Amino acid sequence: MKKLTFTKILLILPLVFGLIGCKKDKPRDPLDRPEPFTIKRELTGRERYEVINKTLENRTRVTSIEAYASIRQVDHASKDEFTISGTSTSKFYLNYGVKNELKFEINEKSGNGIEYPTQEIALNGTQAWKDGLL
Amino acid sequence: MTQMMKFEKENYDYEIMVLDEEEIPDHRPEIDNYYDLDILLNNPIFLDTEGNYHIIEEEFDYVVGSTGSQYTHQMIEMFSDLLINKKFEIERQYLEQKTMIGTFDDSNTRDEKDLNLVTLQKEATSIKHGTLKEMPKLDEFVVGFPKVYVRNDVSVYRVCSPASYDPNHHLVVDNNTTLWTDTLFASSSKTKSAGVMGEFLVTDFTLNKYEGVAFNLKYTTSKFKYDGLLQHAFHTDSVDLEPGIPKSLKDILKVVRQGDMIYLVYVPLELDAPNTIDLSVAFDFTISCNLTDIGDQIGISTFTNIEVLERIF
């Protein structure tokens, strides 16, 4: 009987570990501070020069920029709160083409606890070049 | 709990510039915000154990100021990290800035937990690199780009002229005589179809007996020329306020159409009626535009939600 139970446990274990492995990670807030890293050393002047040069060369290969921002202000005396948060996406294409999408919202709450209506603002832009006209 | 209010307002802008292929810069100006030469050149670069490069900026300030017997403590912390990967691509940028304030009876340095947060700013950017491709549906975008659009400078030009009954008992406006004119701003936004929509409201409008006032919507359309320059055309459309006159005022407010002008005239019935009437006038408008076969610009205005009300305050 004991042997049977042990065998059952052995059979179930891979399934349990498999499920743990498949467990979805909580999506990371893009505004969370990046994971800590360990500095190995500071670059020499010559190495810096090489890194900067090669990095600047890569400007022409940027295909997209996703940006996230959030600002929260609290008045020290009145406790009025003001929050602005949003995201922007820029996608870059050949011939100076770009599609920009910016979305942000503004929230205000007074020190008395009054929450003012949220303002949602979206700005989209497309710029494309064709046959001499931009 | 405050219910969220929703106002939807869209505004579209169209612009054409001339730029030859050889003049096209090799990268967009938006990218330079992250490839800022000042940041790259003026900071040390650190190599991490994963083979990536970091440009780190950190600041910490603690300031104490006194006002009478009180001390205001201010702490400012800033941290930023620009990550350049092994392939020399800026992969992400992170910035965090925090300001904390506290008021105390002494100037002894306090811990962060004893201070109140007044500003917290966070920014994070993720940058991807690769081979640039042709913009999807570029031809569709170019074909669909408007050839003509309405400019966002809409106003209402009012003209006041005397009115009287002619021998045939027809109410006529003497449009050779102008008593006064003015121009009022009309709030508007551009539509996706290169037109304009907006609203007009005037609440302090006084109309004298036997005077007619025309409300003329003035706007401009612009046509893109082959050289990227614009050709403007100016339009004036008189607003027919008749649908907005309430039953109670129909006997004393008359609409007179003369040529392209439409006047609103105050004609009281009784002899002892007041010499003036105070009114408010409101309407919504949409303006679209097009080109004729020979390339002339035409504007089409539509008026809705017209209201002419007697002002009682």
Q: Residue B7: pLDDT band by 50, 70, 90 thresholds?
A: low
pLDDT of residue B24: 80
Q: What is the dihedral of CA B285, B289, B292, B297, to 10 degrees?
A: 100
> Which pLDDT tens digit goes with each residue over A68-105?
999 999 998 899 999 999 999 999 999 889 999 999 99
pLDDT of residue B12: 75
Q: Is the pLDDT of residue B40 over 90?
A: no
Could you give the CA distance from residue B282 to residue B215 in angstroms, rounded to a whole number?
11
Could you give the CA distance from residue B79 to residue B91 in angstroms, rounded to a whole number?
17
End-to-end Cα, chain B, rounded Å: 34
Among B18, B35, B131, beta carbon nearest to A59: B35
Q: Residue B100: pLDDT band by 50, 70, 90 thresholds?
A: very high
Query: Which among B154, B160, B111 is positioned nearest to B261, based on CA atoms?
Result: B160
Task: Report helix, strand or coil for B310.
Answer: strand
- Give me the mean pLDDT over the B20-41 stretch: 82
CB contact under 8 A, B121 and A43: no
A41 interfaces chain B, CB cutoff of 8 Å: yes
**pLDDT tens, chain A, 134 aa long:** 455 555 555 555 554 444 444 455 677 888 999 999 999 999 999 999 999 999 999 999 999 999 999 999 999 889 999 999 999 999 999 988 999 999 999 999 999 999 999 999 888 888 888 876 77
A2 interfaces chain B, CB cutoff of 8 Å: no
pLDDT of residue B33: 84
Q: Which residues of B5-89 form beta strands (DSSP E)?
A: 46-48, 53-67, 70-84
B83 interfaces chain A, CB cutoff of 8 Å: yes
CB contact under 8 A, B50 and A118: no
pLDDT of residue A21: 47
Q: Is the pLDDT of residue B95 over 50?
A: yes
Residue tagged 């007074």 (tokens): A110
pLDDT of residue B1: 37
Max avg pLDDT among A28-37, A125-134, B22-31, B123-132: B123-132
B239, amino acid identity: V
B271 interfaces chain A, CB cutoff of 8 Å: no
User: Are B221 and B147 in contact, with CB atoms under 8 Å apart?
Assistant: no
A9 interfaces chain B, CB cutoff of 8 Å: no
Q: Which residue has the higher pLDDT, B81 or A10?
A: B81
Show residues of chain B in contact with A73, CB under 8 Å: 118-119
Show residues of chain B in contact with A64, CB under 8 Å: 127-128
Q: How far is A26 from chain B (nearest CA, A)?
A: 19
ipTM: 0.80
Could you give the CA distance from residue B61 to residue B99 in angstroms, rounded to a whole number?
9
Q: Residue B228: pLDDT band by 50, 70, 90 thresholds?
A: low
> Which pLDDT tens digit goes with each residue over B247-292?
999 999 999 999 999 999 999 988 888 999 999 999 999 999 999 9
CB atoms within 10 A of CB B186: 20
Show residues of chain A in contact with B142, CB under 8 Å: 128, 130
What percentage of residues in chain B have a pLDDT greater than 70? 96
Could you give the CA distance from residue B173 to residue B259 in angstroms, rounded to a whole number?
11
B135, amino acid identity: M
Q: Is the pLDDT of residue B3 over 70?
A: no
pLDDT of residue B141: 84
A28 interfaces chain B, CB cutoff of 8 Å: no
Question: Could you tell me which chain A residue has the CA closest to the CA of B130?
Answer: A61
- Whole-model pTM over 0.80: no
CB contact under 8 A, B142 and A130: yes
Q: How far is B313 from chain A (nearest CA, A)?
A: 30
Q: Is the pLDDT of residue B2 over 50?
A: no
Retrieve residue B45's tokens.
């670069």
CB contact under 8 A, A95 and B16: no
Provide the chain A residues 90-129 that lie in CB contact (below 8 A) with chain B.
90, 92-100, 114-118, 126, 128-129
Could you give the CA distance from residue B188 to residue A87 in angstroms, rounded to a whole number?
27
Query: Which among B309, B289, B310 is positioned nearest to B300, based on CA atoms?
Result: B289
Provide the chain B residues 28-47 that lie in CB contact (below 8 A) with chain A.
28, 30-32, 34-35, 37, 40-41, 44-47
Q: Which residue has the higher pLDDT, B224 or B294?
A: B294
Backbone region of residue B305 per phi and psi (left: phi > 0; alpha: psi in -120 to 50; beta: other values): left
> Which pLDDT tens digit goes with each residue over B43-77?
999 999 999 999 999 999 999 999 888 999 999 99
> Over chain B, what is the mean pLDDT?
90
CB contact under 8 A, B120 and A55: no
Q: How far is B312 from chain A (nearest CA, A)?
A: 31
Query: How big is the CA angle at B204 (ends B307 and B7), to the nearest 5 degrees?
Result: 55
pLDDT of residue A124: 86
Strand pairing category for A119-127 and B70-84: unpaired
Instruction: List chain A domain ranges.
Output: 63-134
Provide the chain B residues 118-147 that lie in CB contact (below 8 A) with chain A.
118-135, 138, 141-142
Task: Report helix, strand or coil for A59.
Answer: helix
B80, amino acid identity: S
